[in-house]
Amino acid sequence: MTPRNLVVIGGTGFVGRHLIARLARDGHRVVLLSRNLAAHPDRLLPPGVVLREIDVYDPDALRAAFTGADAVINLVGILNERGDNGRGFRRAHVELTKLVIAAMQLAGVRRLLQMSSLNAGRGRSHYLKSRGEAEAAVKASNLDWTIFEPSVIFGRGDGLFCRFAALLKLAPVLPLARAGAKFAPVYIGDVVEAFVRALADRRTIGEVYELYGAEVFTLAQIVKLTARQLGLRRVVVPLPDALGRLQALCCDFVPGKPFSSDNFRSLQTDSVGGIDGLHRLGIEPTRVAAKLPAILGHTDGRQARLTRNRAAR
């Protein structure tokens, strides 16, 4: 692929770190926009990547940052907000997306790769509703857009297996809200490959790609897989919805919000796909069992074999 000038917003998170590293290896020139450079003092950027501090909610600053770019990649997303009224989600997902669209139009940049979420616009959660509104704004623009809708993403340093691993190391018993909620986890490497292929293929313009794995797990199964891979004996206690809502409400007031009322509402809609975007892009989905040891560390002997066998079912 011919090297391009790319601007990435929201690239300091889990997906962004992996995607930017790949784009740099492919020879692209990447400008990563951040509101606070001081928050990334130890970040080692690959050659060809520039970290630039701007207020991404400043229309003029955005337009100036986009000028001369071949494409913009919007990865901005939050899983929780302050309070529970939807304003934080709308600001991060809807208002910022609209600012990006307007700035691209003024800067004369047409190509937009937009991160969204599986089930965007469905369900009752502010998170999913705001993702749907952002998608509607992108589709209504005159840009050359491609939208990606991933299920929960797994990989080293993720917010799925790694997050539960940290909890399981502390708690012998884990009360779990919406334990039966279903997910089709998609590997971070496959998500990155989807972005890279779309960037190189104009046939992806105007398309929405659901990104999900070949396996479906309940939330309880994900937690148990994590415990087994770590070699831990843990008890998972599924909570009825009334207690799950109470747990979420209590966590609304915990610093860092490990769980929230909006997370609970999101879990009421299973994160499984309908039209396989990876297949449409010619990508073979990576199975959880193939990566879980590298994500969480290896266990020995019989326990490792049991983990691999159960994950493969």
Residue 310 has pLDDT above 60, yes or no: no
> 42 is written with which tokens?
């130890």
Q: What is the rounded CA–CA span in Å between residue 55 and residue 290? A: 40
Residue 302 has pLDDT above 90, yes or no: no
Residue 303 has pLDDT above 80, yes or no: no
φ/ψ bin of 290: left (φ > 0), alpha (ψ from -120 to 50), beta (otherwise)? alpha
Mean pLDDT of the chain: 93
pLDDT of 161-172, one tens digit each? 999 999 999 989
Res 271: pLDDT: 97
Res 308: pLDDT: 47
> Half-sphere exposure of 57 toward its Cβ, with a 13 Å CA cutoff?
8
Secondary element (H or E) of residue 29: strand 29-34
Instruction: Tell me if 257 sits within 8 A of 123, measured CB to CB.
Output: no
Instruction: Tell me if 29 sits within 8 A of 5, measured CB to CB.
Output: yes
Residue 309 has pLDDT above 80, yes or no: no
> 157 is written with which tokens?
């340093």
Res 46: pLDDT: 86
Please state the separation of Cα 157 from the chain's center in Å: 12
Lowest mean pLDDT, pick from 1-5, 66-70, 140-144: 1-5
Residue carrying structure tokens 């910022």: 96
Residue 252 has pLDDT above 50, yes or no: yes
Tell me whether residue 57 is in a domain: yes
Res 37: pLDDT: 63
For residue 15, what are the domain limits? 5-150
Residue 12 has pLDDT above 70, yes or no: yes
Res 105: pLDDT: 98
Burial class (CB in 10 A: 0-12, 13-18, 19+), 313: exposed
Residue 80 has pLDDT above 90, yes or no: yes
Rounded to the nearest 5°, which phi and psi values hold at 127?
A: -60, -55
Res 291: pLDDT: 97
Q: Closest Cα partner for 77 from 31, 120, 137?
A: 120
> 211 is written with which tokens?
């990104």
The radius of gyration of the chain from alpha carbons, rounded to an integer in Å, stands at: 20
Terminal C-alpha separation, the chain: 38
Res 312: pLDDT: 47
3-state secondary structure of 63: helix
Alpha helix ranges (H) inside 67-185 = 87-89, 96-107, 126-140, 161-170
Q: What is the rounded CA–CA span in Å between residue 257 and residue 80? A: 7
State the total domains in the chain: 1
Q: Closest Cα partner for 176 from 274, 266, 243?
A: 243
pLDDT of 234-245, one tens digit each? 999 999 999 999
Tell me whether residue 280 is in a domain: no
> Half-sphere exposure of 25 toward its Cβ, with a 13 Å CA cutoff?
9
Lowest mean pLDDT, pick from 40-54, 128-142, 173-187: 40-54
Res 2: pLDDT: 85
Q: Closest Cα partner for 117 from 195, 32, 10, 209?
A: 209
Q: Closest Cα partner for 223 from 290, 186, 169?
A: 169
Band (267; pLDDT cuts 50, 70, 90): very high
Instruction: Tell me if 151 sits within 8 A of 213, measured CB to CB.
Output: yes
Residue 154 has pLDDT above 90, yes or no: yes
Q: What is the rounded CA–CA span in Å between residue 178 and residue 125? A: 14
- CATH code, domain with 67: 3.40.50.720
pLDDT of 34-70, one tens digit each? 887 666 555 678 888 999 999 999 999 999 999 999 9
Tell me whether residue 209 is in a domain: no
> What are the CA-CA distances from residue 40 to residues 4, 30, 114, 256 (Å)?
25, 17, 23, 19
Residue 304 has pLDDT above 80, yes or no: no
Res 43: pLDDT: 63
